[in-house]
């Protein structure tokens, strides 16, 4: 019996030893933690971040479908055509849209005529400029202005205006070099080209006709088949289910004889299905901005209507716009950012915000001194605030202030220990 008790005693001692060791380790961990906190509070370094200016949008994303008053322009099957206007151009009723050719041979002849006409126009301008004694410095200024105008037309996509400006620039260039022109040689070349042009025009006689605009509006050469489906007339009776039916029909095969379409009126509508939560942030008549994220362009809009249904988690938002762009007339379904408001101010991390008495603000490090500066919040994100930037209040946060985002026992006008 004695031999059996001895091992049990040894086990008990080992158990007690293990408990004491665990207690010592736990105490050491607690001591180290307390020591670290005390050290951080009185001797730890500060972490700062500069106040920088940011611009953010209070917005949400959606997919918008264009509903417009559109009408396809029909051409006669089997004929060839050449467009005269560009997509996005505004045209008047009866304005020429395209030249219709009886066959491919006639179209080929017309393609020979175009460079001939350009050459003849240039030679005529050269002959006219040979007697022009305009000051070269003035012509240089006009050339510079023409180049600037063309750059603006390229950005806006105004094709017809750009073509006219290019012709004007060519004429100015010829005037600039008028002193080196051989008028006899140019006259002979011009007459030869004119004779060739007249011969080609004779071959086209009776083989061309003009396709004109049936009404005023914006021209687009893109016909997608939705012209008679997504119309403004359906908006007042639109429901979420009918919206799905209209937009999920797929891309309807357009009539191959369509030569383009005219968008009538001065308004377009963009319909988006959004969450009920986002829809509740909007009201009818509210002014917003739309960012077409793929096209990198914005347009002002207003809320035309908000369509909600009982127990539905989504709603339809109908936006109305009047600003047309040459790219926009060919759009149908586009990813968009619906911008409620935009805020510009200073970026302040949320962990840096503190209270000093009844004032809310942040501590900054100015040299080796901690200073408290008040803030006025403009907008809140998940991780930071956008706060007002003051140019007059000396106690307010300004750009490049070093915001203290981590530090203990911060006090106004306290010198930081080094």
What was the pLDDT predicted at 2? Answer: 45
The 10s digit of each residue's pLDDT in 362-415 is 999 988 889 999 999 999 999 999 999 877 777 789 899 999 998 888 888 888
Look up residue 264 and give its two tokens: 């009538």
C-alpha–C-alpha distance, residues 105 and 102, integer Å: 8
d(CA 352, CA 377): 13
* CATH code given to domain 47-53+345-415: 2.40.420.20
- For 59, residues 6+ apart whose C-beta sits below 8 A from its C-beta are 291, 337, 338, 339, 340
Tokens matching residue 212: 């004109």
Cα 317–320–326 angle (5° rounding)?
Answer: 120
Token reading at 203:
């071959």
Mean pLDDT of 182-211: 84
Cβ atoms 62, 340 nearer than 8 A: no
Helical segments of 43-59, H only: none
- In whole angstroms, give the CA distance from residue 247 to residue 245: 6
Q: Are 363 and 354 in contact (CB under 8 A)?
A: yes
DSSP string computed for 97-120: EEEEESSHHHHHHHHHHHHHHHHH
CB under 8 Å to 49, separation ≥6 — which residues?
349, 352, 402, 403, 405
pTM for this model (two decimals): 0.68
* Parallel/antiparallel/unpaired status of strands 314-321 and 217-220: unpaired
Give the pLDDT of residue 154.
64
The topology under which CATH files domain 60-71+223-343 is Elongation Factor Tu (Ef-tu); domain 3 (2.40.30)
Residues 324-347: tens digit of each pLDDT? 888 899 899 999 999 999 999 999
Q: Give the pLDDT confidence score for residue 1 in this predicted structure.
A: 44
| Number of residues that make up the chain | 418
d(CA 217, CA 97): 12
Q: Which carries the bigger pLDDT value, residue 116 or residue 246? A: 246
Backbone angles phi, psi at 149, to 5 degrees: -65, -40
Q: What pLDDT score does 252 carry?
A: 55
The HSE-up count of residue 276 (CA atoms within 13 Å, CB side) is: 8
DSSP for 287-318, written as a single string: EEEEEETTTTEEEEEEEEEEEE-TT-SEEEEE
Cβ proximity of 299 and 321 under 8 Å: yes
Say if strands 208-212 and 217-220 run parallel, antiparallel, or are unpaired: unpaired
pLDDT in tens, 45-101: 689 999 999 999 999 999 999 999 998 887 654 457 787 888 888 899 999 888 888
pLDDT cut 90: percent of the chain above it: 38
> What is the mean pLDDT of the segment spanning 353-364?
90
- List, in sequence order, the alpha helices (H) in 62-182: 104-129, 136-156, 159-176
């Amino acid at each position: 019996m004695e031999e059996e008790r001895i091992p049990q005693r040894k086990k008990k001692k080992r158990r007690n030893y293990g408990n004491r060791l665990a207690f010592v380790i736990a105490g050491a961990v607690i001591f180290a933690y307390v020591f670290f906190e005390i050290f951080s509070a009185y001797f730890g370094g500060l972490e700062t971040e500069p106040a920088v200016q940011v611009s953010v949008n209070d917005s949400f994303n959606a997919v918008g479908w264009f509903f417009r008053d559109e009408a396809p322009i029909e051409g006669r099957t089997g004929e060839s055509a050449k467009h005269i206007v560009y997509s996005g151009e505004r045209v008047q009723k009866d304005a020429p849209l395209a030249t219709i050719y009886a066959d491919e041979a006639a179209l080929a002849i017309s393609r020979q005529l175009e460079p001939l006409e350009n050459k003849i126009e240039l030679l005529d301008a050269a002959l006219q400029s040979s007697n022009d004694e305009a000051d070269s410095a003035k012509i240089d200024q006009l050339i510079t202005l023409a180049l600037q105008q063309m750059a603006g037309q390229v950005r806006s996509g105004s094709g017809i205006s750009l073509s006219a400006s290019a012709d004007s620039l060519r004429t100015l260039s010829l005037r600039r070099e008028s002193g080196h022109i051989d008028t006899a040689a140019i006259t002979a070349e011009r007459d030869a080209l004119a004779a060739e042009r007249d011969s080609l025009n004779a071959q086209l006689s009776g083989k061309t006709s003009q396709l004109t605009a049936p009404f005023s509006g914006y021209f687009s050469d893109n016909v997608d088949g939705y012209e008679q489906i997504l119309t403004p007339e359906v908006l007042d009776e639109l429901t979420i289910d009918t919206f799905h039916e209209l937009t999920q029909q797929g891309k309807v095969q357009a009539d191959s004889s369509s030569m383009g379409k005219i968008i009538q009126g001065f308004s377009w509508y963009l319909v988006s299905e959004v969450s009920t939560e986002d829809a509740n942030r909007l009201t009818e008549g509210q002014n917003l901005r739309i960012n077409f994220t793929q096209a990198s362009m914005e347009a002002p809009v207003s809320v035309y209507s908000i369509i909600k249904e009982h127990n539905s988690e989504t709603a339809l938002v109908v936006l109305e716009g009047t600003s047309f762009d040459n790219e926009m007339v060919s759009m149908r379904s586009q990813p968009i950012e619906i911008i409620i408001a935009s805020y510009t101010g200073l970026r302040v991390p949320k962990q840096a915000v503190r209270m000093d008495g009844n004032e809310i603000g942040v501590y900054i490090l100015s040299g080796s001194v901690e200073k408290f500066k008040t803030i006025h919040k403009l907008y809140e994100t998940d991780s930071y605030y956008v706060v007002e930037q003051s140019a007059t209040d000396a106690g307010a946060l300004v750009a490049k202030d070093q915001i203290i985002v981590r530090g203990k026992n911060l006090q106004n006008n306290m010198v930081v220990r080094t």
